[in-house]
Structure 1
Amino acid sequence: MPQLIPSPWFLIMLLTWTVILTTMLLKTSLYEPTNNTPPKPKQAQHNSWDWPW
Structure 2
Amino acid sequence: MPQLNPAPWFAILVFSWTILLTMLPPKVLAHTLPNDPTPQSTEKPKTEPWNWPWH
User: Normalising TM by the smaller chain, what interval?
Assistant: 0.3 to 0.5
Q: TM-score w.r.t. structure 2 length?
A: 0.42
Q: Which has the higher contact order (CA 8 A, sep 6+)?
A: 2
Q: TM-score w.r.t. structure 1 length?
A: 0.43
Find the structure with the greater CA-based Rg.
1
